[in-house]
Amino acid sequence: MFSVVNPQNDQALAHRVHECLRRTYRPSIERLQIEAHGGVVTLTGRVFSFHEKQLCLSLCQRVPGVVRVVDHLAVLEPQPAERPSPR
């Protein structure tokens, strides 16, 4: 049995994932790229913490039509706090 991949379905799925993340995870959604192909969703981009990464992946998996999530998210390295120079 063959399954037919429909680009319109892929685009609709990517849109549903985007809307789910936008509603729940507003601050950083613009830094993410979302692609869908045959129910497989790929998230690419940068997040500020491991917690944000896990949240994105978890939310994505709950969207109807998602059969698998490919994680290409990178966690940004925290910038060291500026310290006063020693005297």
Least confident of 38-42, 72-76, 82-86: 82-86
* Global confidence as pTM: 0.77
Phi, psi of 22 (to 5 degrees): -65, -45
More confident residue, 69 or 76: 69
Domains and CATH numbers, the chain: 7-75 (3.30.1340.30)
Report which listed range, 6-10, 12-16, 75-79, is most confident: 12-16
What is the model's pLDDT at position 2? 38
Phi-psi region of 43 (alpha: psi -120 to 50; beta: other; left: phi over 0): beta
CA 15, 19, 20, 21 dihedral sign is positive
pLDDT tens digits for range 18-68: 999 988 866 567 789 999 999 999 999 998 889 889 999 999 999 999 999
